Structure 1
Amino acid sequence: MEQRHLGRTGLRVSRIGLGTLGWGRDTDEHEAAASLKVFWEAGGTLVDTADVYADGEAEYLLGQLVESLVPRRDLVIATKAGSVPDPDRRFNASRGHLLAALDASLRRLGTDYVDLWQVHAFDPVTPLEETLQALDLAVSTGRARYAGVSNFSGWQLAKAATWQLAGGGTRTRLASTQMEYSLLQRGVEREVLPAARDLGVGLLPSSPLGRGVLTGKYREGASPAGSRGAGEAMAGFVAPYLDGTASAVVEAVVTAAEGLAATPLHVALAWVRDRPGVVAPIVGARTAQQLSEALSVEGLSLPDEICRALDDVSAPVHRYPDQDWSTL
């Protein structure tokens, strides 16, 4: 699998990442092991997790599989901290919480460092400088090799990345930002992606298949058995992408796939994988078979005319201040 630099850093990662959101919940240890093996054998390196995935079980599962199945040196392990199961405070990016969470993640993962450590979300209560200091401490103490953020808006990302760069080499530059990005969710193109590209921050798209909708599995209206939409826990996650606007995009993806003798999954994944500024979409397959199908996209590059057609049908509406002034 092709390797790409993560932002303006020396870290190289596979251009498809393996997500573990469902590990320990929808994906048991046997399926997780099979998925990791398939991913590694395909040349994949970037494995993304978080301390809150299945209440830490996803990290624990990954830790059990590293070395026993895949050499630690062959993986780029990325985890996140800052989300908390507290209805009164969903995010805690204080220095104390983040560093304690990192230490707990390392114990579950069975390693003394992570390759990429990310702040899971912006915390409006904690001063941003304090949050970023935690990243600096994690890197300076060797517990993390690189640092990034997740779910930061455009101004939040720009402020954080600029603050780190202003340190003149004394602070850890942000390597990445993780955001949802697909043909059904192109909101990052408004401010996040331009900020990331300007500041040398690599984008790691989550839900690159539109929460599974872009595979075409929901075209008949009912959620197929075993899908996220059919499960009580994730039905609400999928529901926003089952409207008429999304259906038009899905039909365009299906048409493109038929013309290319490919699958809708491959077309949707190739589109986001090759967008400017994107480093590695994170694929959260439930089974090893689903993951294997996704990884077979490696040899597909979409023709320019197909990309333009998909761009047009999925184009988000950006008005003032993004609208071309010549049209006002």
Structure 2
Amino acid sequence: MDERRLGATGLHVSEIGLGTMTWGDRTDEDAARELLRDFLDAGGTLVDSAASYGSTDAESILGSLLATDVPRADLVLCVQSGLRRAGSVAGTGSAVVPDASRRHLLDGLDASLRRLGTDHVDLFLVQAPDPRTPLAETASALETAISSGRARYVGVGDHPAWRTAALATRLAAGGSCGLAAAGLEYSLLERGLEAEVAPAATELGVGLLAWSPLGRGVLTGKYRKGTPADSRAASDRWAPYVEQYLDAGAGAVVSAVSTAADGLGRSPLEVALAWTLARGVSSAVVGPRTPAHLRAATAAADLELPREVMAALDDVSAPGRTYPAWRG
């Protein structure tokens, strides 16, 4: 696969990234080892992880593989911080809340570095917007991550356009670093970023990292005839993550993807991923559970969808335009 420039930076990342959200849960260390080796063999470089993945197990597994199997220099490591468990909420146990304070971000980064067994990451993302922490404080923490050498580049995850722009402006004014990346969900089933985030990112020189480009697995077509026993939707833990994309509207998009795949002699997975790769993202981050899933994903890198197919998929998946986005 090819590499793409991350926004206006000098960092290049593989056009398909490897996500580790299921590592330590649905993917054990042996499977992770095979996935990482196959990913590198296919030309992949960008690997995304976070303390919240597998309750830190994903980072621990990745650190173990870096120590024994894969040279650190071969990877572009992306880690995320900015979520923490708060106290019990009305008897429901602890809740995960955003925390982009200086203390939490830098403590989280340090803990990730220890688990990964490295002294720096290539990209450090604020995992979620935190309305309780001043943006100036978050910007200061990111500047410290850069100036201390713990991170080479910084970015945000799941932030709305105005927060992304405000944070990018503060960092640019500081002069020590800029905002390199914005990671958001993006697929034929979730095109919300197109209204404001994508135009803002283009204007600011921020690279887009698309997570869940396969619509949480639904765009592969695996759910067209029911719920496979080994799928995420069959798991009590993961079912809520998938179920919102199992409605009739999503079904029409999945049918269109499958029809296009039949006509092109490719798989629905390849068509869905090729669509996302053609939409101006720096990298599309996938979370394969098996080497076969990974091979199917990397095969999409050489698929250029015909203009007519792109137009048909654009049309069937077109999001509603809300005020004031329709004016621009």
TM-score (norm 1): 0.96
Aligned to 1:303: 306
Secondary structure, counterpart of 2:85 in structure 1: coil
CA distance in 1, matches of 2:95, 2:291: 37
Moved over 3 A (4+): none
The partner residue of 1:274 within 275, 278, 281 is: 278
Please tell me the residue identity of whatever aligns with 2:118: T
| 1:252 lines up with 2:256 in the alignment | yes
CA distance in 2, matches of 1:323, 1:25: 42
C-alpha displacement at 1:145, in angstroms?
Answer: 0.6
> Which range moves more in the overlay, 65-74 or 125-134?
65-74
Aligned to 1:211: 216
Aligned to 2:200: 195
Secondary structure, counterpart of 2:312 in structure 1: helix
CA distance in 1, matches of 2:106, 2:215: 32
Aligned to 2:90: none
Does the aligned pair in 2 maintain the 1:32–1:288 contact within 8 Å?
Answer: no
Please tell me the residue identity of whatever aligns with 2:326: Q
Aligned to 1:264: 268
TM-score (norm 2): 0.96
Q: 1:89 to 1:55 in 2, by over 3 A?
A: closer
C-alpha displacement at 1:166, in angstroms?
Answer: 2.3
CA distance in 2, matches of 1:20, 1:201: 23
C-alpha displacement at 1:89, in angstroms?
Answer: 6.2
How many residue pairs match? The answer is: 321
C-alpha displacement at 1:319, in angstroms?
Answer: 3.1
C-alpha displacement at 1:111, in angstroms?
Answer: 0.3
Question: Higher strand fraction: Structure 1 or Structure 2?
Answer: 2
Secondary structure, counterpart of 2:156 in structure 1: strand
Aligned to 1:171: 176
Q: 1:132 to 1:108 in 2, by over 3 A?
A: same
| 1:235 lines up with 2:242 in the alignment | no
C-alpha displacement at 1:88, in angstroms?
Answer: 5.8
CA distance in 2, matches of 1:103, 1:321: 41
Secondary structure, counterpart of 1:255 in structure 2: helix
CA distance in 2, matches of 1:14, 1:244: 34
**Structure 2 unaligned residues grouped into runs of 5+:** 87-93
Does the aligned pair in 2 maintain the 1:16–1:280 contact within 8 Å?
Answer: yes
Please tell me the residue identity of whatever aligns with 1:41: D
Aligned to 2:55: 55
> Which range moves more in the overlay, 311-320 or 207-216?
311-320
C-alpha displacement at 1:154, in angstroms?
Answer: 1.1
C-alpha displacement at 1:323, in angstroms?
Answer: 2.5
CA distance in 1, matches of 2:23, 2:289: 8
Aligned to 1:76: 76
Aligned to 2:11: 11
Does the aligned pair in 2 maintain the 1:7–1:202 contact within 8 Å?
Answer: yes
CA RMSD of aligned residues (A): 1.2
Aligned to 1:151: 158
The partner residue of 2:98 within 82, 88, 91 is: 91
Deviations 1:265-293 (A, max 9, x none): 000000001102x1101001111221121
CA distance in 2, matches of 1:264, 1:42: 20
Please tell me the residue identity of whatever aligns with 1:94: S
% same residue:
54
Aligned to 1:2: 2
**Structure 1 unaligned residues grouped into runs of 5+:** none
